[in-house]
Amino acid sequence: MKCRVCKQTAAVALPSHHTAFCPACFAAYFARQVERAVHNHRLFTPEERILVAVSGGKDSLALIHQLAGQGYNVTALHLDLGIPNSSGPAREIVAAFCAAHGFTLRVVDPAEMGLSVPEVKAAVKRPICSVCGKIKRHYMNKIAYEEGYDALATGHNLDDEVARLFANTLRWDRDFLGTQGPLLPAQGKFARKVKPLCRLSEFETAAYCFLHDLRHGATACPYSKGASFTGHKKLWEDLEQRSPGSKTAFYEHFLTHGKTAFAPLAHKDREPLQDCRICGAPSNLETCGVCRIREQVFAVKEKAGADLCGQGREAKNSL
């Protein structure tokens, strides 16, 4: 296969675009896709400060590397979730990567604030990935808003977006269908959220990392079996194989035709937001979801402590 542009041997074939590129032309294609997303959806401007959530996975590393390469003012934000065998290596990868590329790195440790994922998992009955996602979004928004960043960028790619849109469509979830997309404008205490990789597949971000020698994390989260949309992604892979371009068409047509129909209905029945009595974050109850989770974790710990004391007392009495 030859590169469509320069006719050298191709390194990356993209059936969904009926094309293939050599490494240099692929880099130019990748940059163009990001530029297009930023420009078409007005995600941010070169003057703005962007906080980029960097997990250590391929998408977030590719994202900050590309945005910095395009001259944007980026700062990395990493959340350490205290997940055994996963968070430690991820944090090291991000620290080394940011040091090597000269990116300012901000690390936040929800684990130190009583929210390590294993403890949360033990205290909360809901699926851990949905709770973990809530904690991540809470802290990312908090830092972006309180520290005055113009936008919070995440590495969601086309496959992530398609799988999420598909799940929202299966439920006809009008709140999400009215707001999902590469841009969620700032509102109240919610920072602007942007997804500049929304035109690129996970194959493309993986190829980008390989060709730019970006070493990303390979240690999976031990809870990732419950991670979202893996089944949906497989379904879409089948569809894409049979009919290349389906993913892009589904997502882009949603943005141009579908979303506008749902937008007026989104969050119509939502209670007005108030400030959480503990942390001040926007919340529909007096205490926000994350502070409630923290309370549950403390309650479980206190009970375990009390049980241990009780056992100690019983042991002493029996002597």
Q: How far is the CB of 142 from Zn ion (least distance, A)?
A: 9
Q: Is 145 or 251 the residue whose CB approaches another protein more closely?
A: 251
**Stretch of residues binding another protein (CB under 8 A), selected from 101-109, 137-145, 227-235, 283-291:** 227-235
Q: Is 192 or 216 the residue whose CB approaches another protein more closely?
A: 216
| Residue 167 near ligand SF4 by CB under 6 A | no
Q: How far is CA 218 from CA 58, 86, 222, 234, 315, in A?
A: 9, 9, 12, 20, 46
Single residue of 113, 118, 223, 248 touching another protein by CB under 8 A: 223
Q: What residues between 48 and 67 interact with ligand SF4 by CB under 6 A?
A: none
Contact 267, 177 (CB under 8 A): no
Binds 233, which of ligand SF4, Zn ion, another protein, none (CB < 5 to 8 A, cut-off by type)? another protein
Q: How far is the CB of 3 from ligand SF4 (least distance, A)?
A: 36
| Residue 223 near ligand SF4 by CB under 6 A | yes
Q: What residues between 120 and 159 interact with ligand SF4 by CB under 6 A?
A: 128-129, 132-133
Q: How far is the CB of 96 from ligand SF4 (least distance, A)?
A: 20
| Residue 293 near ligand SF4 by CB under 6 A | no
3-state secondary structure the chain: CECCCCCCECCEEEHHHCEEECHHHHHHHHHHHHHHHHHHCCCCCCCCEEEEECCCCHHHHHHHHHHHHCCCEEEEEEECCCCCCCHHHHHHHHHHHHHHHCCCEEEECHHHHCCCHHHHHHHCCCCHHHHHHHHHHHHHHHHHHHCCCCEEECCCCHHHHHHHHHHHHHCCCHHHHCCCCCEECCECCECCEECCCCCCCHHHHHHHHHHCCCCCCCCCCCCHHHCCCHHHHHHHHHHHHHCCCHHHHHHHHHHHHHHHHHHHHCCCCCCCCEECCCCCCEECCCCCHHHHHHHHHHHHHHHHHHHHHHHHHHHHHCC
Tokens representing 133 are 């996602």
In the complex, the residues that contact Zn ion under the rule CB under 5 A are 3, 5-6, 22, 25, 276, 278-279, 281, 288, 291
**Stretch of residues binding another protein (CB under 8 A), selected from 96-104, 226-234, 261-269, 282-290:** 226-234
Q: What residues between 113 and 142 interact with another protein by CB under 8 A?
A: 129
Contact 72, 46 (CB under 8 A): yes
How far is 165 from 159, CA to CA, in rounded Å?
10
Taking residues 90 to 119 in sequence order and writing x for each that binds ligand SF4 by CB under 6 A, - otherwise, the string is ---------------------------x--
Q: What residues between 260 and 319 interact with another protein by CB under 8 A?
A: none
> Nearest to residue 76, comparing CAs of 183, 190, 184, 153?
153
Binds 198, which of Zn ion, another protein, ligand SF4, none (CB < 5 to 8 A, cut-off by type)? none
Q: How far is the CB of 24 from another protein (least distance, A)?
A: 13
| Residue 203 near another protein by CB under 8 A | yes
Binds 160, which of another protein, ligand SF4, Zn ion, none (CB < 5 to 8 A, cut-off by type)? another protein
Sites of contact with another protein (CB under 8 A) = 1, 10-13, 15, 20, 23, 57-59, 129, 160, 201-203, 205-207, 210-211, 218, 220-221, 223-224, 227, 230, 233, 237, 240-241
